Amino acid sequence: MNKLRLFFLSALAIHFSMLSAQVVTEKGVGTVELSGRTCSGGKPSDRKLHLEAIEKAKVSGWSKYTAKFSPDKSEAYINNESTFLGNLDNYVTEYIVLDANCSKTDRVYTVVVRVSINEARVNADLKTESGASEIKADLKGQGIVVLVVPRKTDSAEIFQDRVTNQTQRQASVEVDEMISEDAGSVSITESSTEREAITTGGKTTRKATQRTYSIGDLNDADAQINNILSKLGMRTFSSSRLENMASSRFGYAPFFEGCP
């Protein structure tokens, strides 16, 4: 059973790392020659040149992204670079034009874009396309338990701050006395100064927010994770199947009771 627990925890770790799909952003620059064309409204009069510059900028941003790959990942990418470049729109989910300059003097048009790249899909396709690479060989044919519980916040109770204040007062009085004497009389003059020092302090306490979650579409979540794992050559089976195996083969009581 210890092996089953270790296997299950490892499966969950892989599962949740894949679900936290990262979207990576990079800046890219694309430049095209006007070739006899002119500028109109800050862009080439020929719209095709505008689109060509954007495509070059997208490739530039993609190249910056792939340049940061680890050695093993870079090797797998280089072997399939033409495939990725030919299907770049599968990985660049969106782009934003940050700046554009149409120069009549230099006869060039330059755009700067920020591209968003679906890194989860890149990693999955790298493992698929790498064939017999070590990246895929470690996962192909392996079984993994899938337990997906998509959730979203339904309501949240936010508590007000509880403030505790403390004040310390310290008073003091200083008295000055002056005696004056002449031939006929003696006079005594007194003056007093009263001072008060106030020290304040306290603390603030806030209870943790209490959230209520609602369960999302389980079938859709299962389909997404299975689609990713199948590209890696992995076999998936549900948590209920693991529970049945543990119960029928090892005599353990159900341990997923209450799970969706």
- Give residue-wise pLDDT tens across range 88-102: 999 999 999 999 999
Q: Are residues 105 and 190 in the same domain?
A: no
Whether 211 is covered by a domain: the verdict is no
Q: Would you say residue 21 lies in a domain?
A: yes
CB 164 within 8 A of CB 146: no
Domain count, the chain: 2
Asked if the structure places residue 86 within a domain, the reply is: yes
Residues 53 and 23 in one domain: yes
pTM tops 0.85: no
- The range of the structural domain enclosing residue 110 comes to 2-155+216-250
* 107 and 235 belong to one structural domain: yes
Q: Which pLDDT score is estimated for 196?
A: 75
Contacts of 113 (CB under 8 A, 6+ apart): 27, 28, 30, 54, 57, 58, 61, 95, 96, 97, 98
Q: Are residues 28 and 130 in the same domain?
A: yes
pLDDT at 51: 93
104 and 201 within one domain: no
Q: Which two tokens stand for residue 104?
A: 């009549």
Residues 6+ apart with CB under 8 A from 191: 175, 176, 178
Calculate the average pLDDT of the chain.
76
The pLDDT of residue 257 is: 62
Q: What are phi and psi of 206, to 5 degrees?
A: -130, 130
User: pLDDT digit string (tens) for 191-208?
Assistant: 667 777 777 777 778 777
